[in-house]
Every structure is written in C-alpha cells, then in structure tokens.
A and B are shown apart, each in its own frame.
Chain A
Amino acid sequence: DIQMTQSPSSLSASVGDRATITCRASQTINKNLNWYQQKPGTAPKLLIYAASSLQSGVPSRFSASGSGTDFTLTISSLQPEDFATYYCQQTYTPPLTFGGGTKVEIK
C-alpha cells in the first residue's frame, strides 16, 4: 500500500498569513493527489483534485502543486474560515490512502 505522510501535523498562523502544507507519497503517484478540508463536526470538502485543479467554488487563495512523490498545498492569505484540518489523498491505486492530516490553528 502507498503511505502518505503530511507535514507539519499542525501549524499555528494568523489571519493573513501564508500557510504551506506538504504531502509525500511512499512511491510515485504521478499527479493522482487530492486535498480535502475538514472542519470540526462536519464532513470533508474537496479543495483540489489531480494535484493542482481547483474544485468548483473553492476560493483562489487555495493552490496546490507537485507530482511524483512530493506535493504542496498553499493558502496564500489565511482567512478565519480556513482554520481547519487538511488531508491529502492518493488516488493512483487502491487502497486510496489519506495522509494523517494537518491541523491549521489560529495563533
């Protein structure tokens, strides 16, 4: 199975800051990587698919890049509603494993 490692596991930042989350796959997954946002008590929400494609309705302050084994999610200017937990997921081959999550907290 492909293992997905996210870093950091948590980060503390202020409104307006730039936040960057990384995700590393244990083997190459080309561009088969999605990013999700989850707020407490709610279902996850798809932000990015195919490594860099912004899902419809997602603000443009979210962007992502990467291919192969290393991927990055960037929030250009954190807004109050962005404080949440973020997960990457590889979709190269089943099982479609998630990373452990990155909790973005308010400083």
Chain B
Amino acid sequence: QVQLAESGGNVVQSGRSLRLSCAASGFTFRSNAMHWVRQAPGKGLEWVAVISYDGSKKYYADPVKGRFTISRDNSKKTLYLQMNSLRAEDTAIYYCARDLWGDSSYGSPALIDWGQGTLVTVSS
C-alpha cells in the first residue's frame, strides 16, 4: 500500500533553515506530482508547494515563495522541502501528499494520499 513518511521536523530559531523529507513507497514515485501542505496549530489547511513528476514544474504559495524550495529525487523515491529564513508563522505540521496525476497537463490536481505529517516549530 501507499506510504508517505515525513521527517525532519524540529524546533528551530527564527531566521534559520530546515529541510523536510518525505520517503515514498508502495507506488511508482516518478509517475506522480507531489505536494506539501501545512497546518498551523488549531488552524486550517494551507497548500505550500507542488512539483511535477519529473521535477520540471514547481509552484509555491505566496507566503513561502523565495524562501522555500521543493525538490525530489526519483531514484531515492524522496520528496524534499528546503525551508530558509524561517518565521514564527511557518510553525505548523507539514504534510506531503501524492497527486492523482503526473502534472496538471494530465488532469486537475487531487491529493489522493497523505503522510502523517512532521511538526516544525519556529521560535522567536
């Protein structure tokens, strides 16, 4: 079965960097676009970023544009989120999620499988 396992969450000071990983198994990783979605404590869902199946297309939410970078290593079946210049408002559980499609040219995105999330806490 599909498994997505996030790691790398931690307590970090404002202004520092952190890299999250998402290890995938149970499906052909190189065939699907992948997303990061976050949820601040007690708040709703916030979409963060998406990367196409081959890494050629990347899109970001405005609050993280220029600070966060999504990437993937299809040989390692792993998704990454490099987070720089972290702020208190980046504190959240970060989920990785598998898209139904390889990229939006195949179909409208749908996040069909999710990991359990990893907690990032940014202290000021």
Which residues in B have some Cβ–Cβ distance to A below 8 Å?
35, 37, 44-47, 50, 59-62, 95, 100, 104, 107-112, 114-117
Complex Cα distance A91/B95, Å? 18
Contact check, B62 vs A32: say whether CB atoms are below 8 A apart: no
- Bound Cα distance from A97 to B60, whole angstroms: 11
Interface centre among B95, B110, B114 (most CB of A within 10 A): B110
B47 touches A98 (CB 8 A): yes
Chain A interface size band reads: 20 to 34
Known pairs A32-B108, A91-B108, A91-B109; A96 contacts B47 (CB<8 A): yes
Q: What B residues does A49 contact at CB under 8 A?
A: 100, 108, 110, 112
Q: What residue in chain A is nearest B116 (Cβ atoms)?
A: A43
6 contacts between A and B (CB under 8 A): A44-B37, A44-B111, A49-B110, A91-B104, A96-B50, A101-B45
Given A46-B112, A96-B50, 6 additional A-B pairs, CB 8 A: A36-B45, A44-B45, A49-B100, A91-B108, A96-B109, A98-B47
